[in-house]
A and B are shown apart, each in its own frame.
Chain A
């Protein structure tokens, strides 16, 4: 059913990176290690985007997620001295959480993925077309008045507001009083 070519081998390598990194994130006691596992997992996601012929999103994944968010998380770990608070990893309901996670996975696998697996042949196992949109189409779509220019502007406004809000919230008020 599945031919073993370079693409499927790459898919399995990236799957191992994504899922192994994710398990490392939720199980590592030291949060610096957790952040490094997060980078591994996000890198696997970027590999998926390359396999799915979305190179722009892969580049953004590396630049924004790995370059910005993961570094921001490492900064937060060091600023809050999370590394020295290694008493207990999980709360008292961890077994309930594990049951919820496994049950959700089984539900998703059975109810969503099994129909897409496609016994009736209506759902695609293979891409409907190899004629895919390019990066240029994405750029045009994001600023085209008939497509996504309004969400694009709202997103930039959201980002500006979030950054100003983050600066305001994280500001050290005790420094201002000394001045």
Chain B
């Protein structure tokens, strides 16, 4: 099989691209997409370590399944918040949403 460090290198690259997207993009939906990229990178690392180090133990796959659940919840609530902000302020540019009162 392909050595373990190759999977980790791809996971690290994906995570860092996600970090750049979260820090640099202005659109809130794009930031949420970058967060999904980072979660996928974490999943790739978890499954790769599971396969190479503890293939008989279910912890790697179980943790990945829980990351899926949390990612789905995060996407649903995040997009609901973005839609709610858009209704109030007619904008999804994060720099224009800088006051807490409605």
Q: Are A128 and B53 in contact (CB under 8 A)?
A: yes
Query: Bound state CA distance, A82 and B82, in angstroms?
Result: 11
Q: Are B12 and A112 in contact (CB under 8 A)?
A: yes
In the complex, given contacts A52-B48, A91-B26, A133-B61, what are 10 additional A-B residue pairs having Cβ atoms less than 8 angstroms apart? A23-B17, A26-B21, A52-B7, A53-B55, A54-B51, A57-B61, A113-B5, A114-B5, A125-B3, A158-B70
10 A-B pairs in the complex with CB atoms less than 8 angstroms apart: A22-B14, A25-B34, A38-B36, A57-B61, A85-B93, A125-B3, A126-B3, A133-B57, A141-B58, A158-B73
B6 to chain A, nearest CB (A): 7
CA gap between A104 and B41 in the complex, in Å: 14
> Please, which residues of chain A bring their CB within 8 A of the CB of B68?
57, 60-61, 64-65
Tell me whether A172 is interfacial, beta carbon within 8 Å. Answer: yes
In the assembly, what is the distance between CA of A49 and CA of B86, in Å?
A: 36
What's the nearest-Cβ distance from chain B to residue A99, in Å?
Answer: 9
Q: What residue of chain B has the Cβ atom nearest to residue A69's Cβ?
A: B75
State the 5 A-B residue pairs at the shortest beta-carbon distance, nearest first.
A162-B73, A97-B23, A101-B20, A26-B21, A141-B58
Chain B, residue nearest A115 (CB)? B5
Chain A facing B: main interface SS: helix
Residues of A within 8 A of B (CB): 2, 7-8, 11, 15, 18-19, 22-23, 25-26, 31, 34-35, 38, 41-42, 45, 48-49, 51-54, 56-57, 60-61, 64-65, 68-69, 72-73, 75-77, 79-82, 85, 88-91, 93-94, 96-98, 100-102, 104-105, 108-109, 112-114, 116-118, 123-133, 137-138, 141-142, 147-148, 151, 155-156, 158-159, 162-163, 165-167, 169-170, 172
Point out the residue from B33, B55, B72, B92 that lies within 8 Å of A133, measured CB to CB: B55
Q: Interface centre among B3, B29, B30, by most A CB within 10 Å?
A: B30
> In the bound complex, do residue A108 and residue B40 qualify as a contact, i.e. CB atoms below 8 Å apart?
no
Contacts of B65 in A (CB 8 A): 57, 60, 138, 142
Residues A31 and B29 in contact, CB atoms below 8 Å apart = yes
A interface footprint on B58-89 (CB within 8 Å = 1, 0 otherwise): 10011011101111111111011111101100
Q: Given A41-B37, A57-B61, A91-B26, A65 and B4 touching (CB < 8 A)?
A: no
The interface residues of chain B lying within 8 Å CB-to-CB of A35 are 33
**Are A132 and B17 in contact, CB atoms less than 8 angstroms apart?**
no
In the complex, the answer to whether A131 meets B55 with C-beta atoms within 8 Å is yes
Could you say which residues of chain A place their CB within 8 Å of the CB of B74?
162
Asked whether B66 lies within 8 Å of A155 as measured between CB atoms, the reply is yes
